[in-house]
Amino acid sequence: MSKRNITDIKGQTKKIACLSCAIQKGEVESPGGSILSSKYFEAHQDYEIPIPGFIIIASKRHLQSVDEFTEEEQRDFMKFLCRLRRGMRKALKISVVYLIQEEDTSHHFHIWVFPRYNWMAKKFGCKIQSVRPIMEYAREHLKTASNLKKVDTATQKLKQFFK
């Protein structure tokens, strides 16, 4: 697999083949570390986009699509997703998320649990077409100390909730 440069939310760049595998193996650390882990799945703050509570659920195995899940992974995934969503609602007061999975951008299964905040709708509108501009805006303008602290606080709150 060819390697690519990837820049984390603090601006540090690393050369990585598969980001999800690198996180699972501990070769790179997701911002704030692992939030929730089961036998088959793991959740962490998005590596590149500094939006508080923007959580990625990744499979521990390197697979691409839900149709490759074993029966056990299917059951585990649904429980995992519901548990994470509940934690985001209770610990972070996030009332709306978008769930997004793009099978063509990575060959390692991961799903975006993308939180919606009021500033997003005001500035970029709603629905799927607003997500990429919000992410680009966050990547360009939200790597500030105060926002990175908000990202870290959200991660810590979730970790505490799932303890």
Residue 62 lies near Zn ion (rule: CB under 5 A): yes
Helix crossing, 71-92 with 145-162: angle to 10°?
Answer: 120
Residue found by looking up tokens 């036998």 in the block: 39
Residue 19 lies near Zn ion (rule: CB under 5 A): no
Residue 30 lies near Zn ion (rule: CB under 5 A): no
Among 44, 108, 110, 157, binds Zn ion (CB under 5 A): 108
Residue 110 lies near Zn ion (rule: CB under 5 A): no
Q: Which of 88, 24, 81, 23 is nearest to 51 (CA)?
A: 88
60 or 143: CB nearest Zn ion: 60
Q: How far is the CB of 20 from Zn ion (least distance, A)?
A: 5
Residue 20 lies near Zn ion (rule: CB under 5 A): yes
Note whether 8 and 132 are within 8 A (CB): no
CB atoms within 10 A of CB 96: 12
Question: Is residue 43 helix, strand or coil?
Answer: strand
Residue 21 lies near Zn ion (rule: CB under 5 A): yes
Residue 58 lies near Zn ion (rule: CB under 5 A): no
List interacting residues with Zn ion (CB under 5 A).
18, 20-21, 62, 108
